[in-house]
A and B are shown apart, each in its own frame.
Chain A
Amino acid sequence: MATRQTQLLARSLLTPAVGLLFIWMIVPLALTLYFSTLHYSLLDPGSESFVGLENFRYFLTDPAFLASLRNTLVLVGSVLALTILLGIPLALLMDQPVIGRNFVRLMVIAPFFVMPTVSALVWKNLLMHPVSGLFAWLAQLFHLTPIDWFNDVPLFAVILIVTWQWLPFATLILLTALQSLDEEQKEAAEMDGASAVSTFIYITLPHLARPITVVILIETIFLLTVFAEIFVTTGGGPGLQTTNIAFLIYSQALIQFDVGSASAGGLVAVVIANIVAFFLVRIVGRNLEA
C-alpha cells in the first residue's frame, strides 16, 4: 500500500465486506437491545409496550439467575480443569512412538466430531441410564447400587459429557505443541542431569504455557454457551441444578414465551462473557506475548 491511489483502492474494495459484516453484527444486537426494553410476550401478541429497564430488573432478581450463573461458572471451570489435567498426560502418551499411533490419534480425536446432541443422547441412554446403561451394568457386576446420574449428580453428569467432548480438542492442541518442543532442549536437560519429572516441570510445562492459554480461551468461549447437552439430558433440572445462563435464556423465551426478558438475559450474558474474558486475559493472556 505504497501510494495514495492504492490505499484508496484498497479501502474502497474492502468497504462492502466490512459494511456487510458490520450490519450482520449490529442489526441483531440493536434488535435485542430494542426487545429488551419491551413488554413482549408471545402468548399475548400485539400488546408490546415500552417498559424501560423492567426486563433487566426481572431477569437479574430472578432467583434462577444467580443459580444459573453459579452453574455456568462451575461447568466452565470444571470442564477447563478436567480437559487440561487429563489432556496433558494424554498428549504426552500420544507423543510417544507406539505401534498404530496414527490410529490411536484418530480414535482420540473422534469425539470432537460427534454432534453434541448425539453424544448427549448416547451418554444419557447407553452409558448413564440407571437401568439399561453401561455404568449401571458395571455397578451391578460389583454388586453396587447403580448411580442415577441425572438425578443424583446432574451437574457432574453434564460436566462429564462436556469434558468428554472437549478433551480431544485440548489433547490435540497440547500434542501439536509437544511435537514442536525442540528435541535438543530435552537432550540438553538430560545432559544437565534432569530426571523425567524435572524435565517435565522445568522444560515441558513452561513450553506448554502458551497452548494451555489457547485451550482455556477457546474452550471458555464455547463452554459459556453449552446448551444441547443440557437440553437433551436434564432439561435444566432437576429444579435448577443444571440450568446455565444459556439454558435460562432459552427457557425465558421458548418455555415462558417472554421475549423481552430473554433479550435482557441475552445482553446480561454478553456482559458476563466480557467480564470472564477480561479476567481470563489478565490472568493467562500474558502467556500469549511472544
Chain B
Amino acid sequence: MGQITLQGVQKSFGPVHIIKGADLDIADGSFVVFVGPSGCGKTTLLRLIAGLEDVSGGKILIDGRNVVDTPPAKRGLSMVFQSYALYPHMSVRGNIGFGLKMAGLPKDEINRKVEAAASTLNLTPYLDRKPRELSGGQRQRVAIGRAIVREPKAFLFDEPLSNLDAALRVQMRIEVTRLQKQLGTTAIYVTHDQVEAMTMADKIVVLNSGKIEQYGSPLELYERPANLFVAGFIGSPKMNFVTGEHAKQQGAATIGVRPEHLKIERDGGGGWQGTIAVAEHLGSDTFLYVDAGPLGMLTARYIGELSLHAGDRVSLLPDSARIHRFDESGNALRR
C-alpha cells in the first residue's frame, strides 16, 4: 500500500515561504508528477515527503499515518536522486543491497533480492562493477535498482533523467513508466520537463511559487487548464494569449488558443492576420511564428508540411470550440 496525503503542508526557510500550504491526495499505485518552473518548490515538496526536510506546518499521511516526525528510513519510501548518489566505492551489488544490509537482513536473502532487482533492470552482467565503470543509463538503472529492492510503499524520483542525453531520456522514460506499472507501486516524480510530465503521469501536479496550481490527469490539464499559468505551462509550443477587443467579444479578459487549434490560411481576410516572422519546417510539423500586429506574436502549428515562408501574409482562424477564456485574475471561465 502506498497512499499519500498532504494536508496543509508548509515549508519556510527563515522568512522565505517555499511551500505555502499544499493539499494533495495521491492514490495507491498511481504515478504522480510534480512539474513546474525552477524554484517553484517541487523538489522541496518531494524532500518533505521523503523526510529529508522537516515540515514547518501541516501533515503528511502515508497510509493514514502522520509521518512528519518519522525519520526518512522509517517512512518506507525510497528515492532516486538527480545525481544518482551511488556509493562510488561499492560495487553495483553493494549499492543495491546497502539498504537491506542496513536493515539487518541475512546475506543470502540480500543476494537473492539484489539479483532479482538486477535482472528486472538488465543489470546482472554488471553486478560486480563499480559505478564509475558504468554508462549514464546503467548508473541510472542502479539508482532505480537501489530504490525497488527495498519494496517501498512509494518511489520518489527527483529529476532522475535530467543528466541523460535526449535519446536515452526517451528510452528511460518508457522503462520507468513500464516498471512502475509492472510493480504497481505509487510513484512521485519531479521534473521541469512538461513532456516527461505529460507522457509519464497518471496525474500531474502543477506547482508555481510554492502553490499547487492544478492537480489532474494530463489531458485534463491540457483541455481544461484552471488558470493562465497552467495554460501557458502545459503544451508545447506555448498557448497563444490574446487580450483586449478580441477577448472582450468572448466575454473574457484574456483568451488563449493553442498553436494546434489555429487554422492557417493564406491571406484570405477574416480571422487574425499577420506576417510570418519565422517558419520552422520539421517535416512532421510546421511551426509558424506570426507577427499579428496589435495581437503580438502568435504561434501556429500545422501537422505535416506547409510551404509557407518568412514574409508571407497569413490569416489564422481560431477553433471557436477550443478557445480558453480567463478572467482578470487569470482564472479560467467555464462555458
Contact = CB atoms under 8 A, between A and B. Distances in A.
A192 B85 contact: no
Interface stretch (B28-36, B74-82, B206-214, B259-267): B74-82
Given A185-B87, A202-B87, A194 B77 contact: no
B83 A192 contact: no
A190 B73 contact: yes
A62 interface: no
B82 A203 contact: no
A206 B89 contact: yes
B73 A193 contact: yes
Contacts of A202: 87, 90, 98
Contacts of B90: 202
Contact of B146 (A182, A192, A194): A192
Interface residues of A, number: 18
Interface residues of B, number: 24
A184 B82 CA distance: 9
Nearest to A183: B85
A237 B83 CA distance: 57
A210 B7 CA distance: 46
A115 interface: no
Given A198-B102, A202-B98, A206-B89, A191 B83 contact: no
Nearest to B132: A290
A187 B146 CA distance: 13
Contacts of A188: 79, 81, 85-87, 146
A189 interface: yes
Contacts of B98: 189, 192, 194, 202
B279 to A, nearest CB: 44
A200 to B, nearest CB: 13
A189 B85 CA distance: 9
B52 A192 contact: no
B89 A187 contact: no
A13 B247 CA distance: 75
Interface string B81-103: 11101111110000000110011
Given A192-B146, A198-B102, A187 B87 contact: no
Contacts of A193: 73-74, 99, 102-103
Interface string A159-196: 00000000000000000000000101101111111110
Given A185-B87, A203-B87, A192 B73 contact: yes
A185 B77 CA distance: 16
B275 to A, nearest CB: 50
Nearest to A195: B102
A187 B102 contact: no
Interface in B138-178: 146, 150
B46 to A, nearest CB: 12
B184 interface: no
A182 B83 contact: yes
B10 to A, nearest CB: 21
B74 to A, nearest CB: 8
Contacts of A185: 85-87
